[in-house]
Structure 1
């Protein structure tokens, strides 16, 4: 006759099921409670207005009359496609993007590389480069309108050195007004890209540079063979964010030139604002907004596809 010890019987008994499901549900509930204020705010002030804008683009909505107004179908879109000022404003927006994106990417990268190599007092350069970014757009507009003031502005001396007429303000000339806005924007926003690049640089192990230096690599070779490839994803992010931000340009133009001289600096968001609140045509302005939204989405997708293709070629090589 065999007997089973209490220890053996306890070990043979099946283990109790884990209670992780109830704990996970509790954590999920708490997470949604914390997210609820932001989700409600985002739905009320982002998703809701976006959906309403898309609906209003098919109606003759006006600020004068309540409601959506009469159904217009695709008339608002057809009107925008046939308006010369819409295409000119779109060209000015793309022009501003071409003026600002390359300098904001290249200069911020160079500034970050130089700052990362500073051994002492690095905090000063971080503060100096990032400080303009925290200033409001109204302050930036006032500063640079003063800088570009003819004759008495700070721009008069560089203008003389470049052989330009200091009596003609940069913002007063249709040929140079957009360049002036681009210069102000670069000075204002370069700090954000600088911080992104500096954060990426500090994630690169120093041992890679030390090993390259032992092998005889120069500083330029280290940047080309180590820094640039390892910061490829950061560069893609900076380019994407900068393209989107440049395509949404409005504040600087409105404050510095109000779209002038003439309509030489009128951008798409400026045209949308004028159509909505000056002409009181919310439906037409909504159609223009949808078109700009689609353009931004298409450009962002193309940029991502190009970046992904380049990354795959780099991995294949």
Structure 2
């Protein structure tokens, strides 16, 4: 009788929530919140205060942002960051696509070349900048040697106001080309070979196969590569700091280097936090604009 009185337990459905599974997700959420979410809101809170290393200071509202936009060095750093992204992102996407198309084949030679082009991506920024400082040495570097073959005066890449940012961009492209190449290779290998065989039966040229089959099939990967590179290249710091120290005349100083100088060398944490919030908005707007534009074109 007692068993008959007890209510029957409702059978659990497949899609019913099981809260005990949250135990497995909790460590990741704790680390994610501690290292990303909380610092984001802490930086936003600091940007409205006159803060230094020893105290959070007093609330000043938008005064830090007003000071930023009156600072010519900050405005120059914003322009430098956009110019650097313009130099590097298209080059990384197009060169990475070209290398992927050229090396998307079986064979030992292609495998060795893929490894060779990707190997630079595993180097630290210190090693990369050391290599390229040797390349750009005015008197005895590789560039000077190549110019000497033609009897020309080698340019001073790292001290010339017109060439310094280009030198930083060249070093960055050499360093970062591995990731776009591998993403494109992964996308190319997902395209069914039957499509190319059918195109060959119709006597389609290589150019027609590229424009009508390959590029439409990897369109989403191309958008992904561009967005990833926009986010990464807006965060330029190590190359500019180690190659040029932001010079000459602040022409290679990006926003992150400006934030470092303001917050950790001038001890103005409030203004540095305000600059970091603007950098976050710039990255978000640039990435979303690229994503929405590509999605609209695809639709």
Is the counterpart of residue 35 in structure 1 residue 22 in structure 2? no
Partner of 2:45: 55
User: In terms of Rg, which structure is larger?
Assistant: 1
CA distance in 2, matches of 1:21, 1:311: 36
User: Per-residue displacement from partner, 1:163-196 (whole Å, max 9, x unpaired)?
Assistant: 8522x43112111111011000000001000010
1:223 Cα offset (Å): 0.9
Is the counterpart of residue 197 in structure 1 residue 184 in structure 2? yes
User: Per-residue displacement from partner, 1:240-297 (whole Å, max 9, x unpaired)?
Assistant: 1111111111111111111012211111111111000111000001111111111111
Partner of 1:90: 78
Partner of 1:257: 244
From 279, 284, 292, the equivalent of 1:292 is 279
- Residues 23 and 98 (structure 1), Cα distance of their counterparts in 2 relative to 1, 3 Å cut: closer
Partner of 2:87: 99
Partner of 2:232: 245
Matches for 1:231-242 after TM superposition, within 5 Å: 231-242=218-229
Q: What is the Cα-based RMSD across aligned positions, in Å?
A: 1.9
1:153 Cα offset (Å): 0.9
1:123 Cα offset (Å): 2.1
CA distance in 1, matches of 2:150, 2:221: 35
How many residue pairs match? The answer is: 291
- Residues 35 and 303 (structure 1), Cα distance of their counterparts in 2 relative to 1, 3 Å cut: same
TM-score, normalised with respect to structure 1: 0.87
1:126 Cα offset (Å): 2.0
TM-score, normalised with respect to structure 2: 0.92
User: Per-residue displacement from partner, 1:33-85 (whole Å, max 9, x unpaired)?
Assistant: 3332222111111111111100000000111x32x101111100011111111
Matches for 1:121-270 after TM superposition, within 5 Å: 121-160=109-148, 165-166=153-154, 168-270=155-257
1:18 Cα offset (Å): 4.0
Unpaired stretches in structure 1, ≥5 consecutive residues: 1-15, 313-317
Counterpart secondary structure, 2:198: helix
- Residues 112 and 48 (structure 1), Cα distance of their counterparts in 2 relative to 1, 3 Å cut: same
CA distance in 2, matches of 1:47, 1:242: 22
User: Per-residue displacement from partner, 1:97-127 (whole Å, max 9, x unpaired)?
Assistant: 0110111000100100111135444321221
Unpaired stretches in structure 2, ≥5 consecutive residues: 1-8
User: Per-residue displacement from partner, 1:204-237 (whole Å, max 9, x unpaired)?
Assistant: 0011111111111111211111100111000010
From 45, 53, 59, the equivalent of 2:35 is 45
CA distance in 1, matches of 2:217, 2:116: 26
Counterpart secondary structure, 1:111: helix
From 62, 86, 111, the equivalent of 1:74 is 62
- Residues 163 and 262 (structure 1), Cα distance of their counterparts in 2 relative to 1, 3 Å cut: farther
